[in-house]
């Protein structure tokens, strides 16, 4: 990969991170009674998303759905089998309990995402008609499910902690 390709990948990562960060900043501004500042953060987040999408398109990071599912499966596999276990161990060694817990819950959810993406890829590969129904995401740990449990099996949050995603 040449320097320009590396720069595009780095720019994609930076723009993506900025977009998410600005959404969290907007939430904080809302709680502080500053709706116009929240709008500014959301607008900037949307602009950063446009930049990220443009960079990803240039490096041909968006393909057909089967290829995208395979990329997602590979990414999730890396996260739960290599990245997060290393992060968990490092946090444990450093006595960073909050970081360790954050990494552990993310690691558990990445395994779920991997399974969901794998099932979707299998269904697409078999030419199955995929039933349309919402997913629900725990707003405490990110657990992703099709049916809301009474309590999240990962973080034990109540069912009211799940947000519907259509």
Neighbours of 10 (CB within 10 A): 11
pLDDT band of residue 136 (cuts 50, 70, 90) is: very high
CA angle 130, 114, 110 (to 5 degrees): 130
pLDDT in the model for residue 118: 97
Which parts of 32-164 fold into alpha helices (H)? 35-58, 65-78, 84-93, 97-125
**Does one domain contain both 43 and 19?**
yes
Note the pLDDT tens digit of each residue in 139-158.
999 999 999 999 999 999 99
Same domain? 142 vs 119: no
Q: How far is CA 37 from CA 15, 25, 30, in A?
A: 20, 9, 8
pLDDT value, residue 2: 78
**Judgement on whether residues 121 and 152 belong to the same structural domain of the protein:** no
pLDDT tens digits for 33-68?
A: 999 999 999 999 999 999 999 999 999 999 999 999
Considering the domain architecture, whether residues 76 and 119 belong to the same structural domain is answered as: yes
Q: Looking at the 3D structure of the chain, how many domains does it have?
A: 3
Do 99 and 112 share a domain, yes or no? yes
Residue positions counted in the chain: 166
Same domain (yes/no): 103, 146: no
Burial 115-136 (b: 16+ CB within 10 A, else e): ebbbebbeeeeeeeeeeeeeeb
pLDDT (tens digit, 9 = 90+) per residue, 79-105? 999 999 999 999 999 999 999 999 999
Domain that includes residue 15, residue range? 3-58
Q: Are 107 and 81 in contact (CB under 8 A)?
A: no
Q: What is the mean pLDDT of the chain?
A: 96
Residue 9 has pLDDT above 90, yes or no: yes
What is the DSSP pairing of strand 144-145 with strand 162-165?
unpaired
Of residues 156, 134, 135, 145, the one with CA closest to residue 109: 145
The domain that contains 84 carries what CATH number? Answer: 1.20.1260.10
Largest pairwise CA distance in the chain = 51
Percent of the chain with pLDDT over 90: 96
Report helix, strand or coil for 100.
helix
Report residue 1's pLDDT band, with 50, 70 and 90 as the boundaries: low
CA 63, chain centre distance (Å)? 19
What pLDDT is attached to residue 124?
A: 93
Q: Are residues 52 and 92 in the same domain?
A: no
**What does DSSP assign to residue 81?**
I
* CATH number, domain containing residue 145: 2.20.28.10
Same domain, 137 and 126: no
Please say whether the dihedral angle defined by the alpha carbons of residues 123, 121, 62 and 41, taken in this order, is positive or negative: positive
């Amino acid at each position: 990969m040449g320097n320009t390709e590396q720069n595009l990948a780095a720019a994609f990562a930076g723009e993506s991170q900025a977009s998410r960060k600005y959404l969290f900043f907007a939430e904080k501004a809302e709680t502080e009674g500053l709706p116009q500042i929240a709008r500014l953060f959301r607008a900037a987040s949307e602009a950063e998303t446009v930049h990220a999408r443009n960079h990803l398109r240039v490096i041909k990071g968006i393909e057909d759905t089967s290829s995208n599912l395979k990329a997602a499966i590979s990414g999730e596999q890396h996260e739960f089998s290599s990245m997060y276990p290393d992060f968990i161990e490092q946090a444990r060694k450093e006595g960073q309990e909050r970081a360790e817990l954050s990494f552990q819950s993310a690691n558990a959810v990445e395994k779920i995402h991997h399974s969901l993406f794998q099932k979707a890829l299998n269904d697409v590969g078999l030419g199955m008609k995929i039933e349309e129904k919402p997913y629900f995401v725990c707003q405490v740990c990110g657990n992703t499910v099709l049916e809301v449990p009474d309590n999240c099996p990962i973080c034990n949050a109540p069912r009211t902690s799940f947000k519907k995603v259509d």
